[in-house]
Amino acid sequence: MHINGKTTLFGILGNPVEHSLSPIMHNAAFTHLGLNNVYVPMAPKDLGAALSGLKSIGFRGVSVTVPFKEEVIPYLDSIDATARAIGAVNTLTFTKLSDGSIAVQGTNTDWIGSNAALAQVTELHGASALVLGAGGAAKAVAFGLQKVGATVVIANRTKAKAVALGKELHCAALGLDEIDDVGAEILINTTTVGMAPNINHCPVAPHLLSQYKVVMDIVYAPLETKLLHEAKACGCAVIDGLDMLLFQGAEQFRIWTGHTAPMEVMRKALVTALG
């Protein structure tokens, strides 16, 4: 990568952002395709001021992560229908208009990433899925599943949050302690349970796992969570959190550059970074 006066700017807004793997993934792809682009991490204190700055500096595309995915929406010139339905934006595209002003458009690629990760091993249309968690990621994952015709049940530690999300998505909702007899084919963990440093924690009692055909954990540090380790032992097909990260990033890359993302290059960069 040779940064010069013609380099096009991309980045990620989050706070904290120093652990984000997106700079590694996108810069590896830019370098591989010989694109004169660079992707940098940014942790603004004032999101509105940061967006004005990015516009005037000439940024072309920006990822948005925690805690800004919802907060960013009022600052945007437009937001697409899926991001509006999810209520969260993870991708910004900056476009120069004919009058010289810059328009910022928001979209969401998280649901595309989770669907693509799951679709590698199973048909989603007509499938049934239990989604653990009721936070931002759960909403994107559940929305994506419903969009392709899967039936979703939400289960969360704080049941009231599961019920609220269930109402929004018109699906069943349970407490995390009520999932013994759900009987879904696919299990997806979108809670933070099992994430480093609490790597010995599992959101589901291991003896319940054999009922699922596919188990996906969107936690990616560690890559093999306790949940995936136990699910593998039960004979389930397993998908780790790297795939969702990779596929949502590949869609961002396509939106921003018009190029098909070099998936294997991006995957290798992520795996190397995760050790």
| CB closer to ligand NAP out of 22 and 27 | 22
CB atoms within 10 A of CB 194: 23
Q: Which residue is nearest to ligand NAP (CB)?
A: 135
Task: For residue 15, state whether it binds ligand NAP (rule: CB under 6 A).
Answer: no
Task: For residue 248, state whether it binds ligand NAP (rule: CB under 6 A).
Answer: yes
# residues near ligand NAP by CB under 6 A: 27
The sign one gets for the Cα dihedral 143, 63, 275, 33 is positive
C-alpha–C-alpha distance, residues 80 and 106, integer Å: 7
Of 240, 262, 273, the closest CA to residue 114 belongs to 240
Stretch that binds ligand NAP, among 7-15, 70-78, 96-104, 216-224 (CB under 6 A): 216-224
Given candidates 130, 245, 261, 266, which one binds ligand NAP under the rule CB under 6 A? 245
Beta carbon of residue 228, minimum distance to ligand NAP (angstroms, whole number): 13
Beta carbon of residue 247, minimum distance to ligand NAP (angstroms, whole number): 8
Given candidates 138, 188, 216, 270, which one binds ligand NAP under the rule CB under 6 A? 138
147 is catalytic: no
C-alpha–C-alpha distance, residues 225 and 95, integer Å: 40
153 with 182: CB under 8 angstroms?
Answer: yes
Beta carbon of residue 251, minimum distance to ligand NAP (angstroms, whole number): 11
According to DSSP, residue 211 is labeled G
Interacting residues of 82 by C-beta distance below 8 A, sequence separation 6+: 107, 108, 111, 143, 147
Catalytic residue from among 45, 69, 161, 213: 69
Given candidates 23, 133, 144, 166, which one binds ligand NAP under the rule CB under 6 A? 133
CA atoms within 13 A on the CB side of 82: 17
| CB closer to ligand NAP out of 3 and 119 | 119
C-alpha–C-alpha distance, residues 200 and 189, integer Å: 15
Residues 191-210 that bind ligand NAP (CB under 6 A): 191-193, 195, 203
Given candidates 135, 164, 263, 274, which one binds ligand NAP under the rule CB under 6 A? 135
Six token digits for residue 86: 């999810």
Stretch that binds ligand NAP, among 10-18, 30-38, 134-142, 266-274 (CB under 6 A): 134-142
Given candidates 25, 134, 228, 236, which one binds ligand NAP under the rule CB under 6 A? 134
Task: For residue 156, state whether it binds ligand NAP (rule: CB under 6 A).
Answer: yes
b/e map 64-99, b = 16+ CB within 10 Å: bbbebbeebbebbeebeebbebbbbbbbbbbeeeee
C-alpha–C-alpha distance, residues 268 and 176, integer Å: 35
| CB closer to ligand NAP out of 103 and 268 | 268
Catalytic residues: 69
| Residues that bind ligand NAP in the complex, under the rule CB under 6 A | 66, 110, 113, 133-138, 156-158, 161, 176, 190-193, 195, 203, 218-220, 241, 244-245, 248
